[in-house]
A and B are shown apart, each in its own frame.
Chain A
């Protein structure tokens, strides 16, 4: 623990990022993409390191319930919540985004999420699932994550579940980016220190790298 005050940004410094390892896959891709975007990256399940990092990335693939169980198994929920409450950046990716919401409904089994964002994750009402491939998004005015990216930019999605009803999320003050696959759903969220993407920026080539750089720019560099 450094006891570093928030906002003590050193713009030229390399951000120390922890990719949280709680048994979910895709860690290496996230690690390498963040490193390529200019961060010092450590993949670990160590909670002190996760609390102390300049920025925390919560990845996740597979089932909502399995990811929540993985987070609970290492006791990471309070660390994630504590960071967000203290205004210290967290980025959730794919199921790592989904578990930030109140609940996930898979095959009729409802699992409680971390509840940091209002809304529930449900099966997409789409003819073709998983929603797999490169899709466009609709980012709101003022988005930091999508700043400077052309409106027709495509990101790589692979998922069957998402937050479909964004009303509560929008009402909570979040900037909500949506995408469309037979139905509209939440593709990204920005609210205070909490950012999240349903797609995989770490697999979205240069477009994803630009988004990761945008996120890293919101992370104050430690001393």
Chain B
């Protein structure tokens, strides 16, 4: 057999509460990330991602508490991203119970951060997260550029080249979020997935654009090892089991 395609719900957490509302039955408190994490675990999620969207550094401690409480009761891998800037940030989150740490903006500003984290904790904990959009014609070789500020600000950095370099520096996984596809519910950006797949040998997680179960198999076909989605799961439009059924039907191994 072979390793299963992973299906990963992503929760945006602000000051200890899930934002971008969640519409689930059978929850006492749909805003509690710990309770939601447990619900997704029961639903068959292979992994969970918490994205800390807290603007205030004074609320970072709240996120640590969320990670701690999740690790106490949910026994599937947990990735935490958002606001990670230093090796010390990574250490703190790992000690709280995170298994993998997503790094985004801080690595654009200072790529050596990736090597520092990988050297200290191993590349298996390090996820390089990229928010990518199609670049104005002729500005990047691949046609894709890395953005910051939720896709609003271009960096001029070639996204495919940055993914390649990130993996070389020590990222053990690439989380590829298409800002063009994000929110469209029109499907993943297959061209972007394929372009990054061709230049890295670490796992690639596809994100952005999922709107129907049928959107998931093409992302795997384009080269992704895992698929991440938020709103389609949170609003109950799709269940993890439905996505897995469609993946299985397309010939991909699932748990």
Chain B 33-70 against A: per-residue CB contact (8 Å), 1 yes, 0 no? 00000000100001000000000000000000000100
Chain B residue, CB-CB nearest to A33: B75
- Kindly list chain B residues whose C-beta atoms are within 8 Å of the C-beta of A202: 75
Whether the pair A133, B203 counts as a contact (CB closer than 8 A) is yes
Binds B, one of A81-89, A110-118, A157-165: A157-165
Docked CA distance A131–B6 (Å): 12
Main secondary structure of the interface of A (DSSP, over half): mixed
Q: How many residues of B contact A (CB 8 A)?
A: 34
- Kindly list chain A residues whose C-beta atoms are within 8 Å of the C-beta of B173: 130, 132
Chain A 185-219 against B: per-residue CB contact (8 Å), 1 yes, 0 no? 00000000000000010111110110000000000
Q: Does B187 sit at the interface, judged by CB under 8 A?
A: no
The 8 Å CB contact of A36, one of B75, B94, B121, is B75
Whether the pair A180, B1 counts as a contact (CB closer than 8 A) is yes
In A114-170, the 8 Å CB interface with B consists of: 127-136, 152, 154, 156-160
In B163-220, the 8 Å CB interface with A consists of: 172-173, 201-203
Interface contacts (Cβ under 8 Å), in number, total: 102
Q: Does B97 sit at the interface, judged by CB under 8 A?
A: yes
Whether the pair B203, A132 counts as a contact (CB closer than 8 A) is yes
- Given A63-B122, A159-B124, A205-B76: A130 in contact with B255 (beta carbons within 8 A): no
Chain A interface size band reads: 35 or more
- Kindly list chain A residues whose C-beta atoms are within 8 Å of the C-beta of B120: 62
Interface residues of A (CB under 8 A from B): 25-26, 28-29, 32-33, 36, 61-63, 127-136, 152, 154, 156-160, 180-181, 200, 202-206, 208-209
Interface residues of B (CB under 8 A from A): 1-6, 41, 46, 68, 71-73, 75-77, 94-97, 99, 120-125, 172-173, 201-203, 225-226, 255
Interface pairs (25), CB distance under 8 Å: A25-B95, A25-B121, A26-B99, A29-B71, A29-B75, A62-B122, A128-B203, A129-B201, A130-B173, A131-B3, A132-B124, A132-B172, A132-B173, A133-B3, A133-B6, A133-B46, A133-B203, A133-B225, A134-B46, A134-B255, A156-B76, A157-B3, A181-B3, A203-B76, A204-B75
